[in-house]
Structure 1
Amino acid sequence: MAVQNKGETHWIIPDGFIPPESSGKQTSHESICVLNMQETTANVSVTAYFEDREPLKDIKVQVQAERASHIRTASLEKDGRTIPENVPYAIAVESDVPVVVQYSRLDSTQPELALMSTMAYPLNT
Structure 2
Amino acid sequence: MEPIEINAGSWYLRGLRADERVDDRPALADGGITDPDHVAARARQWAGGEHYSWAVCEPTTGELLGEVGLTPAGTDGTLGGWARPGHDAALAAATAAVRRFAEGALGLTVADR
Q: Which TM bucket (shorter chain)?
A: 0.3 to 0.5
Task: Select the structure that is richer in helix.
Answer: 2
Task: Give the TM-score normalised by structure 2.
Answer: 0.32
Larger Rg: 1 or 2? 1
Task: Give the TM-score normalised by structure 1.
Answer: 0.30
